[in-house]
Structure 1
Amino acid sequence: MDLVVPLKEYGLTDKEIGVYLELLPLGTINLQEIAKRLEVTCFTATEPEKFLDNLDEKKRLIEGILPKLKELQEDQKQSSNVQIYEGFKGIFTILSDVFKIKQQTYYFGGYKKSLDILKHLPDQARLIRVDRNIPAKVVIDPTDEPLFHTPKYKKLTELRFLPSLEDFPAMIFIYGNKVAMFTVRGDLIGVIIENKQFSEAMKIVFDMYWSQAKSAKL
């Protein structure tokens, strides 16, 4: 049986393999009988079972760092994507994406001004989230509309008002690893950004507004 290949796959160099195979049948011998250039006086070939111990140790080392290696791999896999939309059709596309999956969502902005945009969209655009039973935490400028008083909306929504958002020029939505936003005045432009770090950063911004806002009294 050729022992060189498996020993090389194990990680030994050609020189180490040669020395090991030479020493193994001889036990403990004088250094001069093996190699005059080595800086020790004698060698004892390690017991073959030691290889299994070394393999176990290597396995433990790899298992110890495996979660971090997987984390690095996932970070590399995470894609960043930016999509830009225009017009009423683009805003409808954005809202459809925000509420496509049932997950906790967060949004804030100048809601009263956004109503001027939403009224040009299909009726279901304003009801997508409620129809799909998607929970949300919302911070907007003080606004009252019939939708807020419905039992289902109240059940799914934590609503707070912040007067300073009345002049906020956009509505911003945070959901999963995505952030979506659209302008509420001027040219209608919207964007969806898929990036974990950006989503986390915008969640911090949301939390700041949330802490300043007061629970809606409707």
Structure 2
Amino acid sequence: MTQDPILLKLLKDAGLDDKESRIYLAMLSVGHTTVQDIAKISELKRPIIYVVLEDLIKKGFANIIPNKKIKTYQATDPGAISAQMQTTAKNFSEMLPIFKTLSNQKSQKPKISFFDTKEGIQKIYDEINRQKSAVFIASNARLNHYFPGASKDWQKSYKTGYNKLISRTIVPHHPDDIKIAKDFLHVTDKVQIRTLSVFDECNMDIAVYGNKLAITTFEDVPFLVVIESKAVPTFFLPIFEILWKNAKKIT
């Protein structure tokens, strides 16, 4: 006997497997029934039916009719399946914060991204400019060498009001960096810039924004690494504050 595929699918969606669905639907369709009758309707072998019936009874979806010479079974009301689904959904909803906590524990591992093209590096610089605040250890003069006009573009974005990033930057004590720093300071009051000669020979820029650390190395081809972790500001910002206190203010 062919069973309704739509009803079988609904039972499977409710958590029953294929054999459980076929046997439950067979019992439901005839009321009190024997394994022999279930076999005819479900087209399953009787040894399998006995095993599956035990599972359905344990789950509360079937029961044995007492005082029958031949073992007779009955499907419980379909409302029992609906009630179990609702209970499961309610329990899952209540436990959802715990599941999220477990997921967050895994996601706390640092996320590391690499960018080795000018387009990729520019994308990160644009991302930084959209932040509320950031701190830098960087050379604008060196950046202009690899990205011609970058400083002018940033100054223009401040003039137009497009760039609202509040930043503090420590630059090398090079004449070109000092000049660019003064240009920035004349354009906007959202930036503070100081200088430290200890970074004169450094060939690397560092930016900290949000929970991200961006490190750009300038060799023959610029290369940028972004490390995303809640530990980034906790670790790096105190170091930056020490350097900032020892840096010379540019006016």
Counterpart mapping for 1:116-127 below 5 A: 118=144, 121-122=148-149, 124-125=152-153, 127=155
Structure 1 residue 147 corresponds to structure 2 residue 204: no
Q: Mark the CA change 1:171 to 1:80 in structure 2 (over 3 Å): closer, same or farther.
A: closer
Structure 2 equivalent of residue 191 of structure 1: 223
Counterpart mapping for 1:203-214 below 5 A: 203-204=233-234, 206-212=236-242, 213-214=244-245
Q: Bigger relative contact order, structure 1 or 2, given CA contacts below 8 A and separation 6+?
A: 1
| CA contact 2:215–2:224 (8 Å) conserved in 1 | yes
Q: 1:99 aligns with which of 126, 150, 157?
A: 126
> Which sections of structure 1, spanning at least 5 residues, go unmatched?
36-42
Q: Mark the CA change 1:45 to 1:129 in structure 2 (over 3 Å): closer, same or farther.
A: same
TM-score (norm 2): 0.52
Q: Mark the CA change 1:130 to 1:48 in structure 2 (over 3 Å): closer, same or farther.
A: same
Counterpart mapping for 1:48-127 below 5 A: 48-63=78-93, 64-65=95-96, 68=100, 82-85=114-117, 90=118, 94=121, 97-99=124-126, 102-104=130-132, 106-111=134-139, 114-115=140-141, 118=144, 121-122=148-149, 124-125=152-153, 127=155
Structure 1 residue 34 corresponds to structure 2 residue 103: no
Q: Distance in 1 between matches of 2:152 and 2:214?
A: 21
Structure 1 equivalent of residue 14 of structure 2: 10
Q: Distance in 2 between matches of 1:51 and 1:167?
A: 72
> Which sections of structure 2, spanning at least 5 residues, go unmatched?
33-62
Structure 1 equivalent of residue 168 of structure 2: 138
| CA contact 1:178–1:192 (8 Å) conserved in 2 | no
Q: Distance in 1 between matches of 2:184 and 2:92?
A: 54
| CA contact 2:8–2:25 (8 Å) conserved in 1 | no
Determine what percentage of the aligned residue pairs are the same residue: 15
| CA contact 1:109–1:168 (8 Å) conserved in 2 | no
| CA contact 2:158–2:188 (8 Å) conserved in 1 | yes
Q: Mark the CA change 1:84 to 1:135 in structure 2 (over 3 Å): closer, same or farther.
A: same
Q: 1:181 aligns with which of 199, 216, 226?
A: 216
Q: CA deviation at 1:62?
A: 4.5
| CA contact 1:118–1:125 (8 Å) conserved in 2 | no
TM-score (norm 1): 0.57
Compute the RMSD of aligned alpha carbons. Answer: 4.6
| CA contact 2:31–2:74 (8 Å) conserved in 1 | no
* SS of aligned partner of 1:99: helix
Deviates more, 1:12-21 or 1:165-174: 12-21
Bigger Cα Rg: 2
Q: Mark the CA change 1:171 to 1:8 in structure 2 (over 3 Å): closer, same or farther.
A: closer
* SS of aligned partner of 2:77: coil
Q: CA deviation at 1:56?
A: 0.9
